[in-house]
Structure 1
Amino acid sequence: MATDRRVRGDSTPGAGNTRARYRRILRFAGRNLAVIWWYELFLPRIGLASVAERTRSRRMRRFAQRFHALAVDLGGLMIKVGQFMSSRLDVLPPEITAELAGLQDEVPPVPFPAIRALAEAELGMPLDRAYASIDESPIAAASLGQAHRAVLGALDAADTGLSDVVVKVQRPGIDAIVDVDLAALRKVAGWLSHVRIVADRVNTHALVEEFAQTSLEEIDYLHEAANAERFAADFADDDRVAVPVIAWERTTRRVLTLEDVTAIKITDAAALAEAGIDPAEVAPVFAAVMFDQLFTNGFFHADPHPGNIFVTPVALPVTMGASAGDGPAEASAGPAWKLTFIDFGMMGEVPPGTRRGLRKLLIAAASRDGKGLVDAVRDVGVLLPSADTAELERAMTQLFARFGGMGFAELREVDPREFREFAVQFGDVVRSLPFQLPENFLLIIRAMSLTSGVCSALDPGFNLWDSIEPYATKLLKDERGNVVQDLAKQALETAGIAWRLPKRLDDLVTRVDEGSVVVTNPTLDRRVARLERTARRTVSAAIFAGLLVGGAVLRADEVVFGTVLMAASAVPLLHALFAGRWGR
């Protein structure tokens, strides 16, 4: 297949391959930017805006379909770009985000000899020495790397406590592919920055650099291993969560060896039922674990799709009978289980200030408080201070009044026309506001949308509000405790100021008596200095005019003297032109 040849050719890219890849990405972007210019800028200027409006939805959907095909064909970062775009609900229309939401790493695996060569070069030894055995057939192949099952040797197994492991190996040549893709994306960002309808909505350069940082971290397996250990530390005392152990002796920037924790895929309802686990019981636990990451720990898994989460059954201790007459020992009522997370290449971090705003936002959402939710969004920094939020507050109030508290099963019963009508109105309000989601919100939205999708797959009747409300109640209690602490701290600070105030007043009175008090106003000083410079430049301009005119008049009779005066006029001219700059 052509796709296989192209992707495999990129696995060991030469100069020709990288140039062709770069040109292909730019051709695709240039062609679609031309279409956008024609429909969104040119036609409205000649009075044909209705044509652009009528065809917009179809054009956006066609663009997304073509990009989907391009991403699958090229692999590399293009698939990540599609996944990235699918989460930018603040920037892109739903026709694009919906089409790209299902974009996965749909690429063929790299032949094992190439994987072997890269792994041996990284580890500095033959694979036969690094592992007791390794399966040449990958268990997963993605655009940036692929994974193989292996068994550690006896000495490594004794040191690490592990035996069965998974070895993740980068695709050969992926560094060069990433460099080419980022270079092309930076070029496209430069083009977009000159398109007003795009530049008014988003800083394209910052967006690409944000994506670049995430991508470069994702291909650094040492970074992923450190993320896994940090995540494990956050949930060290939590019986709900498990994390694979890293075998650091067999881990480098391009090879990652970790415990094989393969278990039941979280959305595999048949396997869960066979293990005696009710999927409807897994959904709220998964939601609560994700809430803890976002609102408590501030360090969260940003890619919690079903392939990255297992449900691992855990045998419960046997409960013995009270006496011999009670009969044989009885097992517990049902199996226990844990949520096992894998793939920590894409992680998000929520700064404390943003976390407080998110807590406030969650509490407002749980209480159906449209105004409180808008205030929280403003506090987080999503809305600019100048934004007029009256319409948004009204829209949020209507949203809560009509759809608040509904689960996905109930929402599916709502007339689609009502959804579309509200979506158009709400979208118009949102697009009219000056806002752009901060960097951390990109991953937060991605994590929450995937969480919601997984929970709905586990239980079609799952209502996210049922998990949000008790969690928000807990947060509200915590916030009240924090408020009491803040008030106590402020009271202590106020008491300290009051204690020191009499002495400071006494010092001030003494300095007034001595005449040593100096009052300064930096703003006033700057304005006075500016006025002085302006006055000096005005005088210089007048002197220049006088010398120039006088020299011109005298030159008719006194050639030398008139010429000297005209030449001398250059000195006050230069002062008039540049004195303001010199004085700054």
Structure 2
Amino acid sequence: MRHLARLVFIVFVVLRYGLDELALSSFRQRWVRLLVRLMTVGRRLDAPRGERLRLGLERLGPIFVKFGQVLSTRRDLLPTDFADELAKLQDRVPPFPAAQARQLVERAFGRPIDALFASFEAEPVASASIAQVHFATLKDGREVAVKVLRPGMLEVIDDDLTLMRTLARWVERLSADGKRLKPREVVAEFDNYLHDELDLVREAANAAHLRRNMAGLNLVMVPEMYWELCTSSVIVMERMNGVPISQRERLSDAGVDIPKLARDGVTIFFTQVFRDGFFHADMHPGNIQVSIAPATFGRYIALDFGIVGTLTEFDKEYLAQNFIAFFRRDYKRVAELHVESGWVPPTTRVDELEGAIRAVCEPHFDRPLKDISLGQVLLRLFQTSRRFNVEIQPQLVLLQKTLLNVEGLGRQLDPNLDLWNTAKPFLERWMNDQIGWRGLIERLKNEAPRYVQLLPELPRLVHQSLQPRGVSEQRALEDLLLEQRRTNRLLQGIVYGGLGVVLGIVVTQLLLRWQIW
């Protein structure tokens, strides 16, 4: 009944905001178009379609809001007006009562809250769809932030994700671009992100890992986690004091070098992505502050580590080569990389793909960031990808989302920031480290334990390789026949043993029935 009631509510919201028309309008089947006409008879939908989609998702609740935020990064999947409206979605969720928050903290640690903290502020400083944050003070005087998971989220998430999976299957079957855009894989990744956020210990571990990675950079601060006060539903961390990065005038009045701050943001992003392969994937202005304390003046402060992205060595190398080729305007290399990676069919003509990519990217070079929209560039690239049947890689969705966040932060801080020239030297240094002597030495260090294990076996391996081929084959054949005989004996033992057990059970039952025992 709970699932049925939720489904009825969703259908009501879909009809109220005309989302059925939006969802079905892209399908080409004649019967689907006829259904759309029948369903829209008599309804007046005056608001723009993108606004109706955003309002409908907000009405459906925080899980659909989060899905809309993730979906806003998939500009290959959405028209421009949809993506622009979904980018406005925010987690404006009312906080749950302070008394309930206290109860959740006490239940998580099994002790009264007064035994844990010298003080605990009832009013939350932040409230989102997954959790809310309260400031507190430990018994030893340390100021901390306490993040409390919103109660009852797991059931709501599982119910809504079930419906999303069903919708994704229908989109994949009926939509012309369904298979290429992989909607089921997108929903699966969204499922992983949400369930990761529901485990606050995982978030604490993400923060600790990012803190170690960024320790030597001196550009960003990550709060320390107090592990003795971390559970899956409540975590306690170092309280960070900074100015929200959206308050540009306040930062400027405090003496912060705004252009340098913008460049530092780009450096932090590319360091996390290409050096570490582990990056903060929720870098919207609400999660980024700037320190104005004398000891850490001008450093970024990162918050909320529920969503992080990871990249394999193959992903990093592929992306770095693409970026460098873009910066050098080597569009032929970009096209070749798409073919080599298997993202486009092997029959694709490289010269045609090169020309299409050049038409998208060339107009945007040598222009300040205020005149460039990475969102528009990505949109046109995705439109081009549709023409060449490029398969979108779901593991890069978070990277795309974070790149758009970095663009927004850069534009907010310094509209004249040249993102391309700022990032190009960093990527070139990274590639030199990968393919130069330094990269070779580093890889030899990483492989040294394997070499140590293989060296004692080297004489035997050489001896085996020098043996006559016929002798080796004969020995291999004899070993194979011996192994087959052993397997046959084992199977025979299992069969005979099983028959003996069955026979024993039957005889025992007969004896008991005839009262012979």
TM range (shorter): 0.7 to 0.9
What is the CA–CA distance in structure 1 between the aligned matches of 2:97 and 2:254, rounded to whole Å?
36
Residues 86 and 101 of structure 1 are in contact (CA less than 8 Å); yes or no, is this contact kept in structure 2?
Answer: yes
Tell me which residue corresponds to 2:440: 485
Tell me which residue corresponds to 1:67: 53
Which of 9, 17, 20 does residue 24 from structure 1 map onto? 9
Tell me which residue corresponds to 1:355: 316
Tell me which residue corresponds to 1:188: 167
Q: Kindly, what percent of the aligned residue pairs are identical? A: 27
1:292-303 correspondence runs (5 A): 292-303=271-282
Aligned to 2:298, the other structure's residue is in SS state strand
Residues 115 and 169 of structure 1 are in contact (CA less than 8 Å); yes or no, is this contact kept in structure 2?
Answer: yes
Q: 1:189 to 1:393 in 2, by over 3 A?
A: same
Which of 432, 451, 454 does residue 409 from structure 2 map onto? 454
TM-score (norm 2): 0.78
TM-superposition CA deviations, 1:36-71 (whole Å, max 9, x none):
546642469999xxx9xxxxxxx9x94432232133
Q: 1:515 to 1:367 in 2, by over 3 A?
A: closer
CA RMSD of aligned residues (A): 3.7
Residues 72 and 105 of structure 1 are in contact (CA less than 8 Å); yes or no, is this contact kept in structure 2?
Answer: no
1:159-174 correspondence runs (5 A): 163-174=142-153
Q: 1:26 to 1:369 in 2, by over 3 A?
A: farther
Residue 442 (structure 1) aligned with residue 397 (structure 2): yes
Residues 222 and 256 of structure 1 are in contact (CA less than 8 Å); yes or no, is this contact kept in structure 2?
Answer: yes
Residues 314 and 338 of structure 1 are in contact (CA less than 8 Å); yes or no, is this contact kept in structure 2?
Answer: no
Aligned residues: 454
Residues 76 and 382 of structure 2 are in contact (CA less than 8 Å); yes or no, is this contact kept in structure 1?
Answer: no
Judge which range, 375-384 or 132-141, deviates more: 375-384
What is the CA–CA distance in structure 2 between the aligned matches of 1:208 and 1:366, rounded to whole Å?
33
Alpha-carbon shift at residue 202 of structure 1 (Å): 2.5
TM-superposition CA deviations, 1:262-303 (whole Å, max 9, x none):
301123212212221121110001100110000110000001
What is the CA–CA distance in structure 2 between the aligned matches of 1:172 and 1:501, rounded to whole Å?
60
Tell me which residue corresponds to 2:65: 79
Q: Which amino acid aligns with 2:134?
A: H
TM-score (norm 1): 0.69
TM-superposition CA deviations, 1:101-145 (whole Å, max 9, x none):
121102222122222222222222222222211111111111111
Aligned to 2:28, the other structure's residue is in SS state helix
1:422-433 correspondence runs (5 A): 428-433=383-388
Q: Which amino acid aligns with 1:145?
A: A
Residue 370 (structure 1) aligned with residue 331 (structure 2): yes
Tell me which residue corresponds to 1:260: 239
Residues 25 and 184 of structure 1 are in contact (CA less than 8 Å); yes or no, is this contact kept in structure 2?
Answer: no
Tell me which residue corresponds to 1:552: none
Alpha-carbon shift at residue 27 of structure 1 (Å): 5.5
Q: Which amino acid aligns with 1:342?
A: L
TM-superposition CA deviations, 1:137-186 (whole Å, max 9, x none):
111111111111111123xx5xxxxx111111122211221122112212
Tell me which residue corresponds to 1:398: 359
Q: Which amino acid aligns with 1:273?
A: S
Aligned to 2:176, the other structure's residue is in SS state helix
Tell me which residue corresponds to 2:427: 472
Q: Which amino acid aligns with 1:440?
A: Q
The runs of 5 or more residues in structure 2 that have no matched partner are: 38-44, 445-450, 478-517
Tell me which residue corresponds to 2:344: 383
Alpha-carbon shift at residue 304 of structure 1 (Å): 0.8
Residues 280 and 308 of structure 2 are in contact (CA less than 8 Å); yes or no, is this contact kept in structure 1?
Answer: yes
Which of 58, 81, 96 does residue 110 from structure 1 map onto? 96
Which of 115, 139, 157 does residue 129 from structure 1 map onto? 115
The runs of 5 or more residues in structure 1 that have no matched partner are: 1-14, 52-58, 158-162, 317-334, 413-418, 520-584
What is the CA–CA distance in structure 1 between the aligned matches of 2:204 and 2:216, rounded to whole Å?
20
Q: 1:518 to 1:111 in 2, by over 3 A?
A: closer
Aligned to 1:249, the other structure's residue is in SS state strand
TM-superposition CA deviations, 1:175-227 (whole Å, max 9, x none):
22112211221221232232142423323322211110111001210000000
Residues 28 and 175 of structure 2 are in contact (CA less than 8 Å); yes or no, is this contact kept in structure 1?
Answer: no
What is the CA–CA distance in structure 2 between the aligned matches of 1:518 and 1:109, rounded to whole Å?
70
Judge which range, 219-228 or 357-366, deviates more: 357-366
Q: Which amino acid aligns with 1:350?
A: L
Which of 275, 286, 292 does residue 265 from structure 2 map onto? 286
Q: 1:349 to 1:81 in 2, by over 3 A?
A: same
